[in-house]
Chains A and B, each alone.
Chain A
Amino acid sequence: MKPARVMSIRRYLLTSLILALTAGSFLVVIFTYTTAADEIDELYDKNMMEITETLKSQITALDLEDRHIKNTVEFSLESTIKEEQEFLVQIWDKNGSSIYTSHRTIPYPFQEKRGAAITEFAGEPWRTYGVETNDFIIQISQPQKARDHYIHEISFHLLYPLLFVIPMVGFFLWLAVGRSLIPLHDISVAITKRSATRLQPLSENTPIEIQPLVRELNELLARLNTSLQAQRNFVADAAHQLRTPLTALQLQLGNLKRAKTDIERERNAANLQNGINRATQLVQQLLTLARLEPDAAEPQKPFINLTHLAQHVLTAHTDMALDKNIDLKLHSITGILVPGNEENICVLLENLLGNALRYTPTGGKVIIHVYTENGQAVINVLDNGIGIKESERERIFERFYRVLGTEVEGTGLGLSIARSIAEQHGGTITVADGIDGKGVGFVVALPLSDKK
């Protein structure tokens, strides 16, 4: 994970949080505006009503005698009502002639309707409240625009702090997001410091959101460490084990160069050939083991006929069995199918059968059973050869382990390869007694193919 990716999480979080904040603020603005508009309308409607009622109770006919106004002044836009506290007050007598107006320049007409009303005047909505006494008709009016102006002003005063609040909150978010991403950044730095030779686990002292990630990473690191350690041990072992055949080759070559007679030369050349064969076998087996590393991708088949494979391997070893006069038999039920890599299962069978034939003395017996048991395919390779002591049975699967005192040549890798193959196929390999309690028997159990 590169730090740039961590930074983009920060940017994503910041953008989405600020967008959400802005959208929320916008909703607040709309709600505030409409509520304020309604409240203010209600307030001034009530105000107009109260002024009207006050006038109604105080006005007398006498006060207004001879105050009839002549409709002489022209309407002028200059003198319209702009402030929200300003009202147009008009009084008419019962005959409909104007007695009083607070704004001579506004010829707002007499409304037939009493009470609250919304009308239109000079192309704009006006609000009016009218009341009738015994002698007069009192009408208080105000253009909606005057109120809107006020509503806008109030809304602006309420909302403009948001212009500072949003950047401020954004700034704190930026800090907080940054701080909460520090553990991630720390992990990324810690991972950068890890290498093939330094695979110690990461500290699990992290926020709970990151803990699963750290735990998974630690498990991965542990697996990687085990696998690398195994690889290193293997390479060291292999290098060490290659020295022995190489030494033999060098000495055999030295002897060949010094041979004085043809007979000696031939014998020394034959020795050298044996040495080369042994080195070749070791190299081949090392390659097989390398191929069996857990991560190696190999072609898999869903159905491998174990019966056919066992017959094939048996046929390939007939000569060896005849040479040593060994009674070699295969007992198999037909059509046992297992999934996996055919070549590797073949190597597994070859190694077990080859061992059985090599470690069984002339005139002995080797039997292969192939059958199914407990939902598994089982291959049982039994002999009545020299056998393996109880104390050595666990160690024979170790790489390069050889049973002491064996005269048979070998690399000590065959059984290790067999176990790797069995495990690669999700199976097991175990060792038990051979035929009639003599010799040795290897039992391989492999999962069967899924039925169609």
Chain B
Amino acid sequence: MRILLIEDDRMIGESLVHALKANGYAVDWARDGNTGQASLSTTAYNLVLLDIGLPKRSGLEVLKSLRGRKDRVPVLILTARDHVTDRVEGLDSGADDYLVKPFALEEVEARIRALLRRHAGNADPILRSGDITLNTLTKELGYQDKNLVLSAREYALMFALMELPGKIMSRPELEERLYGWNEEISSNAVEVQIHNLRKKLGAELIQNIRGMGYMVSK
């Protein structure tokens, strides 16, 4: 679950990055519009948190160029502009949701979850595939008759796999979804997470397709 945060204020950025990482998201933080736009054109994100009043290139410009490329990544605008016209302009430019500063951590997190669910074509907070259920609110994983509350990283891994059951995710793809910029990744980090989950819930939970990657069965 990789999120791009485009926000110029250092304190807001640091706090959001800290909180979102604790939630198991991989977060990249761009501090101006140009960097944000460059990141969006090189990396596939699951969600974008976008400030409007940005140096170098405004958030709305970044958003318009993103939608101009037919990129459908969910965008949540975070801004101090609270006029109705600002909200309308933001949403009409292609944003999926609009949050006015100041906001509570819980609210931005709930909106991120809702946007991710909706984008997966699923308003239900519980992702299902065969015997597996993943509750996006409580981070509980159910498999057959067992239940387990996942750690942030485990949750991110399972979410990535459950989003499109049956799709094979390569190790680099999973790493990209699990870790943000400047995070040190040990070479077998993904394997370790998968190993732990299999040990707790059974080896059939995640299938290894040799030479290609991992998947959960449909």
Contacts and interface: CB of A to CB of B under 8 A. Distances in A.
Interface of A: 240, 243-252, 254-255, 258, 268, 271, 274-275, 278, 404-405, 409
B101 A246 contact: yes
B102 A258 contact: no
A248 B15 CA distance: 7
B12 A244 contact: yes
Contacts of A247: 9, 12, 80, 101-103
B15 A271 contact: yes
Contact of B101 (A244, A274, A404, A405): A244
Please name the 4 residue pairs, one residue from A and one from B, whose CB atoms are nearest each other, closest first. Answer: A254-B105, A251-B15, A248-B11, A243-B80
Given A247-B102, A251-B105, A409 B10 contact: yes
Nearest to A246: B102
Contacts of A245: 11
B193 to A, nearest CB: 20
Contacts of A405: 32, 55
A251 B49 CA distance: 15
Contacts of B10: 409
A251 B7 CA distance: 14
B82 to A, nearest CB: 8
Given A243-B101, A249-B102, A250-B104, A274 B11 contact: yes
A150 B197 CA distance: 140
Given A246-B101, A247-B102, 17 more contacts: A243-B80, A243-B100, A243-B102, A244-B101, A246-B102, A247-B80, A250-B102, A250-B104, A250-B105, A251-B11, A252-B15, A254-B15, A255-B19, A255-B105, A258-B105, A271-B15, A405-B32
A309 B10 CA distance: 35
Given A240-B80, A243-B102, A275 B19 contact: no
B111 interface: no
B106 interface: yes
A29 B106 CA distance: 99
Contacts of A278: 11
A185 to B, nearest CB: 42
A247 B106 CA distance: 13
Nearest to B108: A251
9 contacts: A244-B80, A248-B9, A250-B105, A254-B104, A254-B106, A255-B15, A274-B11, A404-B56, A405-B32
Nearest to A404: B55
Contacts of A249: 102
Interface residues of B, number: 22
Given A246-B102, A247-B101, A404-B56, A271 B14 contact: yes
A150 B100 CA distance: 102
A245 B100 CA distance: 13
A243 B83 CA distance: 14
B15 A244 contact: no
A258 B21 CA distance: 13
B123 interface: no
Nearest to B16: A251
Contact of A252 (B11, B55, B101): B11
A246 to B, nearest CB: 4
Interface string B1-40: 0000000011110111011001000000000100000000
A255 B101 CA distance: 17
A246 B100 CA distance: 12
A244 B105 contact: no
Interface string B34-58: 0000000000000000000001100
Nearest to A268: B18
Interface centre among A252, A254, A268 (most CB of B within 10 A): A254
Interface in B96-121: 100-106
A69 B67 CA distance: 145
A273 to B, nearest CB: 11
B35 to A, nearest CB: 11
Contacts of B9: 244, 247-248
Contacts of B56: 404
A260 to B, nearest CB: 9
A258 B15 CA distance: 12
A274 B12 CA distance: 12
A210 to B, nearest CB: 43
A278 B9 CA distance: 12
Interface in B62-109: 80-81, 100-106
Contact of B19 (A240, A243, A254): A254
Nearest to B31: A405
A278 to B, nearest CB: 7
B214 to A, nearest CB: 29
B124 to A, nearest CB: 26
B103 A250 contact: yes
B61 to A, nearest CB: 15
Nearest to A260: B22
Given A248-B9, A274-B11, A275-B11, A255 B18 contact: yes
B55 A251 contact: no
A251 B80 CA distance: 15
A251 B32 contact: no
Contacts of B22: 258
A258 B104 contact: no
Given A243-B80, A254-B19, A258-B19, A248 B12 contact: yes
B119 to A, nearest CB: 24
Contacts of A248: 9, 11-12, 15
A322 to B, nearest CB: 25
A246 B80 CA distance: 10
A271 B11 contact: yes
Contacts of B19: 251, 254-255, 258
Contacts of A244: 9, 12, 80, 101
